Amino acid sequence: MSDEFPFAGRHPKDWNSDEAHPYVVKFVDEPSVETKTALAELVERVLATGPAAADDQPWLWSGSFAKLHLRERWANARALFAAAAEFFQALHKLAPIQQVLFLGWVEERDASRETWAARLVPDPFGSILHPKNNELPKPGIDEAFEQARKNARASRPVTADGVTLHPSDHDADVLLGLAHPPGLEKVLNLEGQTPPRIPNDGDEVHCTEPLPLAIERSDGRAQRVVYVRDGERRVIEGLPTPFSWPVACPDGERGYARVGDTIYELSFKDGTAVKRYESDVPLERMVAVGEHLVATTPTNIVVLAMGEEPGVVASVRRPQCTGLASSDNAVVWLECRKKTLAFGFRDGKLKKLATIKAELRVAPRRVDGKLLAHDRQRGTLEIRGLDEAFDAWAPPRKAKPKSARSSR
């Protein structure tokens, strides 16, 4: 396929970019607001599948010039270069293109560089062909264009195992826990100050439900678990340090924390910690689901029954993950790179229900009867079909009929 416009670096023999490859495109005319909106929608539609993906970095605009990055979806640069040619042809049909330059292109031959330098006009970014043209407008982000890209991503349903994602206009701050939950200032001893963000991202807040729970640190090390009960800030005593992953059970009466590979039970009623279980394999992340703990090991997800004799009651293999969470006391969420796995949980058993092509920042939660999640790129999303997938695996329990009383 030949290009209808000069494309320098279309099939590079060598390049100096990796995974995210920078390009500069010059349109014949500076796109209007309406054309940019249409371009944003086209970009997200064309790059939704295949070896080239739209990178998270925003486009930089300078009049009719735009700088963008294409990311390797399959870790295959050659496949991306081929897809890039088709991508720019698709843009050209909507908004005529004057020239394209791959900024990562490496060209050792002077004659080739001179030929291309004569064919392409200087841009505001600079390259191996020309120094940047400072007479052009300073490049910047077009917020309307980026919002149109975001809207296009959010409106594209993603189907996986019968589960679909749909855009939602619910407040992301409420979903992410950025709004102040009751008692948060008190548990952090920060009355009158702005509490840190949740999820904590290195801050002290660890969870807010079913009760605010935080880690008191000193010199970066976890020192004490603090929490709110009956409106008062309280402290867990007797928990060795350093500890990690304190979690609260759904009833709000107790919780757990990990000290190395030993699990301690926390009593929020009297503020004490008691050793309950020593694992013979390394433990990593933990969440409380009903009467059980779900934890990750280097290779598996394990379910721990924490009754009179704690122990592993179920285990499934897992891929490399970056996060673990739970919702509804029925679903365990495993965040992996570029996807999230949903596992159904019942009676100590785990079953993978869906692979969702989204990176969910926190566990989905019910808001106004809808299961909502937050994706790093697409914002707030509604998850549909997961309840049906769960019920297909573990049908709702039928209520036991009441025994008829004798009329005598």
pTM for the structure as a whole: 0.54
SS3 137: coil
Please say if the pLDDT value at position 266 is more than 90.
Answer: yes
Domain containing residue 27: CATH number: 3.30.70
Q: What per-residue confidence (pLDDT) applies to 1?
A: 40
How many other CB atoms sit within 10 Å of the CB of residue 44? Answer: 21
What is the pLDDT confidence band of residue 186, given thresholds at 50, 70 and 90? low
Please say if the pLDDT value at position 330 is more than 80.
Answer: no
Domain-embedded: residue 283 = no
* Residue 307: domain span: 157-173+288-398
SS3 111: helix
pLDDT tens, residue by residue, 111-166: 889 999 999 999 999 999 999 999 999 999 999 999 999 988 877 655 445 677 78
Q: What is the mean pLDDT of residues 303-327?
A: 85
Q: What per-residue confidence (pLDDT) applies to 401?
A: 46
CA distance 240 to 34: 61
Q: What is the mean pLDDT of residues 388-400?
A: 65
- Which uninterrupted H or E stretch holds 84? helix 77-94
Q: What per-residue confidence (pLDDT) applies to 187?
A: 55
Domain-embedded: residue 406 = no
Residues 6+ apart with CB under 8 A from 260: none
Provide, rounded to the nearest whole percent, the portion of the chain with pLDDT above 90: 32
Domain-embedded: residue 91 = yes
Please say if the pLDDT value at position 398 is more than 70.
Answer: no
Cβ–Cβ under 8 Å, residues 302 and 315:
yes
Please say if the pLDDT value at position 290 is more than 80.
Answer: no
Residue where a domain stops, chosen among 278, 304, 336: 278
CA distance 348 to 136: 64
- What is the DSSP pairing of strand 97-102 with strand 7-8? parallel
Q: What per-residue confidence (pLDDT) applies to 173?
A: 63
Q: What per-residue confidence (pLDDT) applies to 178?
A: 46
Domain-embedded: residue 405 = no
Residues 167 and 186 in one domain: no
| Chain position carrying tokens 């791959």 | 102
Residues 6+ apart with CB under 8 A from 269: 229, 253, 254
Question: Which one is predicted more confidently, 63 or 383?
Answer: 63
Please say if the pLDDT value at position 367 is more than 80.
Answer: no
What is the number of domains present in the chain?
3
Residues 167 and 210 in one domain: no
Please say if the pLDDT value at position 404 is more than 50.
Answer: no
Residues 34 and 133 in one domain: yes
What is the pLDDT confidence band of residue 79, given thresholds at 50, 70 and 90? confident
Mean pLDDT of the chain: 81
Q: What per-residue confidence (pLDDT) applies to 407?
A: 34
Please say if the pLDDT value at position 345 is more than 90.
Answer: no
Question: Which one is predicted more confidently, 75 or 168?
Answer: 168
Residue where a domain stops, chosen among 225, 255, 278: 278
Q: What is the mean pLDDT of residues 373-391?
A: 81
Q: What per-residue confidence (pLDDT) applies to 264?
A: 95
Residues 143 and 186 in one domain: no
Question: Which one is predicted more confidently, 235 or 252?
Answer: 235
Residues 100 and 14 in one domain: yes
